Amino acid sequence: MSEPLNLKAKLGLNVFKEDKERHINIKPGMEKDPRLKRAVLVCPAGLYSLNDKGEVEFTIDGCLECGTCRIACGVEVLDWKYPHGGAGVQFRFG
C-alpha cells in the first residue's frame, strides 16, 4: 500500500482461522512478471505491494478470498487455491 490507511486495523476486525499453508502462491519464475503489479491495485486487503526494487511482495495474512487477484493476474502467474476447509476468513455478517 502506498498509504498506510487503517487497513490492517480494518482487517483485524474480521475472524480469520489460520491455514496449514499459503493458499495463494506466485508461480516459480513469475516473481517479476508485470501482470503481478495489477494485484497491487486491485487487492481489497492490500496484500500485494511494490518494494524499493519495484518488485511485488505478497503476504497472505488478511486474505478475504475474494478471487480478484486470480482474475486480474491470471493462472499463469498465480497458483490459486482456496484455504483448507474451516480455515481462512469466516464472515460473521457477509
Residue type, 65: E
Find the helix or strand (DSSP H, E) in which 71 lies.
helix 68-73
| Number of amino acids touching another protein (CB under 8 A) | 41
Query: Is residue 10 within the footprint of another protein (CB under 8 A)?
Result: yes
What nine digits make up the cell of 79?
497458483
Least distance in angstroms from the C-beta of 78 to another protein:
10
Subset of residues 59 to 88 that bind another protein, contact rule: CB under 8 A: 64-68, 70-72, 74-75, 81-86, 88
Which residue from 15, 10, 24, 14 is spatially nearest to 58, judged by alpha carbons? 24
Least distance in angstroms from the C-beta of 23 to another protein:
10
* Contact in structure between 20 and 12 (CB atoms under 8 Å): no
DSSP state at residue 11 = H
Binder among 40, 56, 58, 77 for another protein (CB under 8 A): 40
Subset of residues 18 to 37 that bind another protein, contact rule: CB under 8 A: none
* Contact in structure between 26 and 7 (CB atoms under 8 Å): no
Q: Which residues of the chain form contacts with another protein (CB under 8 A)?
A: 1-3, 5, 7, 10-11, 13-14, 17, 38, 40-46, 64-68, 70-72, 74-75, 81-86, 88-94
